[in-house]
A and B are shown apart, each in its own frame.
Chain A
């Protein structure tokens, strides 16, 4: 299944979830200051594990940085 993660095309296995993408990015479980949007909708942390990706979906994984 082809998806886009943070602007880059990625191939993931069928049944991949938001949690598997986060894991793919080397984010430690429970890492602070991380949030995910799937096709422009926020997926709360509690739903990462059971939110499955769809073919062609856009995943944005964001983290805290200095700014403002």
Chain B
């Protein structure tokens, strides 16, 4: 087992290296650089541009250097824990992202819990009551959530919440609490705003989870040991939770790999539409303005979490399910 983990960790290094190259190249692909899009933006608003200042910034940001050199500079910095400098914010990347990480995690965890709370009972119900009215009805509800465009739902709910509850539009708290120290009122204000993004993001995820749980559980329910258990007189609830449900949870653990990066990045589109103070809008705007170190470091961070998440879920699966083998080499 230990050997397996070691081997996985070693293979992570070239994977991440390739990802870093891809990320950097893709960010550099659009024509121009940060300063050019900055100039374009200023000009489109009629503001004057001081060419000398731009020249100063180009040297300062190292944008006059060859791309390879910029890449090496960035990678070398990351190895030392320096994620580079955000041109747009004129601050180190860690300061820009760090501030928003906490709220992003809160939203993500709340959303995940919400999804589970809705999807789990429905999934179990529709598996045990296959092809019943309840199964169809609840599945349809889930699919409706999946099919409704998130941004549309977000806008409608923002509007309704504003008109009927007086909630301020967008954001995660009333403006006067932004930057204020933590207090009970601030928490209330967050809760008042939090439910909209949670419901919007959550509804889109429930359908997938309902269907996967239903399918996995149906597979198990047909099996011999379930029949045996029932024949031996186990109460239906105890039978369900003790045996087939546990086996059906494999997919759930395998999901951890995707969960980890999702917790950090938040749902970008909804966050942009609702102007949430999470990391998603930062990532999007940094890609648009070619703020390359901010975008690059953030994407690398997500990549790292994905790779680690996959490893964690693999290990957890191996521990949970003895049927899973640790790849060809390790088992010999």
A and B physically associate: no
